[in-house]
Structure 1
């Protein structure tokens, strides 16, 4: 890897927009993809951008989600962390072949296991620390509160570098190394090197009690930010006519370093790079519940998806079946312009289905949680006129209820009927279903997908600077 100073800050450059046919893309394939995912019970799109030859050819957001709204990316955060590592390696701040422990000399006396002491930066970057199972819960129990210490004090069962295991403290350690070596937080370090040049605005990244961005998850950014990261890697580190990231690093980060063939799903069996998964077509940044930057070198294309999806393999299958042929220089139809206009109109009108308006007034007054209601922290609910008040973790959230529509312009949106309320936490993938039982005075809450970080409901949003 070459070394050198941090790149100079370039003006923010967002992705150009063109029609699909200008880039040799068949709009019929995008339409077919939308039809397919709408029929999948385990897939709910929130944002979509399709790029070819560096330009956006189709994009849409499903209200109450929108293009400027940050979205919790879950493990797509890992790929941003790996990119920070790439910059740190290029600047000579971090050595891939140095032991992880060497960046935390204060832990030297605490870490006695020889395998832990032999764990290199490249091993944790590739999820190959030698542990056979996820260690995050055990690492968090370290009495010091230091996840790196907790992780390094857990003896690996195999030699580092020989065994793949998806293990959050590996990425946490990568993030901590970059933060230690640079003397900056991840966002601060990435701002002039990656975020500003790519046109990324304010982002929020969940931090732990030590003040570190956790690295393995917690980044809230827009669908276009995800697309831009994918495009940067597709272009081998080039952006807006200049080089941001080492081409050698991009190649190294996106090739397979670890055997994942035992995974039950086809698109998770093809190997793992430095915080990127190999796919049957290209490679990807991949986050829980269907957050993706799909990088397709053969098609010179990127597909960015933010969603709430439990069947992510089915979502990828729909991309391969419908989008991939449309991105592979198909013969365009004679009525391409009309089809593209219809696609634009379809995407512009996209929204999540609101709760059907059954008529009648919302039941007024207070409700207590039924047995087994989620989340356990939601201790009471009141309906006052056309508003619902959620009492959670000692705080009150007062929300307008939309009837046959979504109400709310902030990070929460609500749609409801006399017996049901849906609350969308629109800076995350998550939706809470609330069923009201007027006869018993109880409510029953159920997550469509449970948050993997479980803060108070008022904190289920981007931790943007300045927010309480």
Structure 2
């Protein structure tokens, strides 16, 4: 069933052939396996049958998609091909005459847009690091200068640099950035508002990552593909493109139990059970289930992406019936309660410590560290703590609630822009402060444990992340006037 308004229609699971018990079991599996989800939206027959956000994540917030962005970039190429702005068999080098090496390798000369789409460029490894290390910001030249070890189309390598090149080609072919090009063709018809996309130093959208949209926007995108490109009775993307983009275009493994070895399309992964998906690092998913007429949109902060899919295949796929189920008001109420209660709560150990009177307001000079933090201080109030981090570009202040989330903004992840955060603090031990910060428009959450030593004269700080390796401890010494 196609959606009829800018907001997807809502239903109850049983009316669309799914038992509420199946969704409850999925939520339990996620909790038991300690998988950090931030949101989910399940659609059947074009109706949202279950949706939930783990507070402090919320429906209106955008979420970084990482490589799920690639599927949107692929769609832009589909639009451009339909409009005759390019063809999939165009040589990549034809768009960058000034960036091509004087003696172009035959494999590079043979590389086409189609090869970029299918991750069959012929490279032996991802080119992304070469792009980002280019001092003059000319990412296209960096890509075209990389060795092409294999004949294009014969060797799969997941290559975010290839998707960047799709964005760069689209911008040359259309005269618009990727986001501006997609706005009237995809975003506005689907009612996707407020989308943002990161750019390279020369103003080209990154393509392979960097898009941020809300969970329902991911679900709409999946529903468009499920409906073979039709939206509100209008063919936006051609059915032929949808079929080609989501079919296996190149082998990427030997199948088996891995959902990264079932074949790759045009910036879409094939899955087990006849499904396909766009996905991004740390668990950003748009899963399309054609045989079941269903879509599953998920945002996360986890490294176990296969675990998330395994839980979905185990609990959500088998119960999907071809006709409505009998209403079950008790189960529906239980599911609604479970969805409303979803939350990632701040740690709550000791709400207060006598150490606050000793260390509150003291400034500590930090040794050299990967974060380039120069100093730290913490001031305590009745219901909050104010954390001040000194960097070369100034002081960054963060408000943390006492055992509760406090909302705020931070530039610690990106000096150029404020990021929405929530933060909380607690005391696991009398002399150890634990500060938890969630960047709620991203997958990232950080826990900083600050141990105060020698009656508050010294500190040791350890930073932990939900998705990244633990960093070495940082030591600091009290700054004296």
TM-score, normalised to structure 2, is 0.86
Match of 1:454 in 2: none
1:405 correspondence with 2:404 = yes
1:434 correspondence with 2:448 = yes
Distance 1:184 1:399, change over 3 A: same
Gaps of 5+ in 2: 410-419, 428-432, 470-481
Match of 2:15 in 1: 22
* Displacement of 1:429: 0.2
What is the CA–CA distance in structure 2 between the aligned matches of 1:19 and 1:271, rounded to whole Å? 34
1:76-135 Cα shifts (integer Å, max 9, x gaps): 000010011111111101110110111223234546111101100000110000111112
What is the CA–CA distance in structure 2 between the aligned matches of 1:122 and 1:425, rounded to whole Å? 36
Say which is worse superposed, 257-266 or 403-412, in terms of deviation.
257-266
| Contact persistence 1:258–1:272 (CA under 8 A) | yes
TM-score, normalised to structure 1, is 0.89
Q: Secondary structure at the match of 2:422?
A: strand
Match of 2:417 in 1: none
Q: In the TM superposition, what are the counterparts of 1:325-404 in structure 2 within 5 Å?
A: 325-329=318-322, 332=325, 336-361=328-353, 362=356, 363-366=359-362, 368=364, 376-385=371-380, 386=384, 387-392=386-391, 394-404=393-403
Distance 1:135 1:263, change over 3 A: farther
1:63-85 Cα shifts (integer Å, max 9, x gaps): 11111101111000000100111
Say which is worse superposed, 199-208 or 408-417, in terms of deviation.
408-417
Say which is worse superposed, 158-167 or 140-149, in terms of deviation.
140-149
1:284 aligned to 250, 258, 277, which one? 277
What is the CA–CA distance in structure 2 between the aligned matches of 1:422 and 1:383, rounded to whole Å? 14
* Displacement of 1:392: 4.3
Distance 1:324 1:367, change over 3 A: farther
What is the CA–CA distance in structure 1 between the aligned matches of 2:322 and 2:186, rounded to whole Å? 31
Structure with the larger RCO, 1 or 2 (CA within 8 Å, 6+ apart): 1
| Contact persistence 2:366–2:375 (CA under 8 A) | no
Of Structure 1 and Structure 2, which has the larger fraction of its residues in strand? 2
Distance 1:376 1:144, change over 3 A: closer
1:260-283 Cα shifts (integer Å, max 9, x gaps): 115896101110100000000310
Q: In the TM superposition, what are the counterparts of 1:57-136 in structure 2 within 5 Å?
A: 57-108=49-100, 110=102, 112-136=104-128
Distance 1:393 1:300, change over 3 A: farther
What is the CA–CA distance in structure 2 between the aligned matches of 1:372 and 1:313, rounded to whole Å? 37
Q: In the TM superposition, what are the counterparts of 1:139-218 in structure 2 within 5 Å?
A: 139-142=131-134, 144-218=136-210
What is the CA–CA distance in structure 1 between the aligned matches of 2:33 and 2:190, rounded to whole Å? 33
Match of 1:298 in 2: 291
Say which is worse superposed, 131-140 or 49-58, in terms of deviation.
131-140
What is the CA–CA distance in structure 1 between the aligned matches of 2:451 and 2:393, rounded to whole Å? 23
Say which is worse superposed, 383-392 or 217-226, in terms of deviation.
383-392
Q: In the TM superposition, what are the counterparts of 1:209-228 in structure 2 within 5 Å?
A: 209-228=201-220
1:377-417 Cα shifts (integer Å, max 9, x gaps): 33332212222223345343322212232110551000111
* Displacement of 1:14: 2.1
Q: Secondary structure at the match of 1:400?
A: strand
| Contact persistence 2:22–2:316 (CA under 8 A) | yes
Q: Secondary structure at the match of 1:326?
A: coil
| Contact persistence 2:38–2:301 (CA under 8 A) | yes
Q: Secondary structure at the match of 1:304?
A: strand
Say which is worse superposed, 358-367 or 131-140, in terms of deviation.
358-367
Q: Secondary structure at the match of 2:401?
A: coil
Gaps of 5+ in 1: 1-10, 452-468
* Displacement of 1:169: 1.1
Q: Secondary structure at the match of 1:445?
A: strand
What is the CA–CA distance in structure 1 between the aligned matches of 2:288 and 2:205, rounded to whole Å? 26
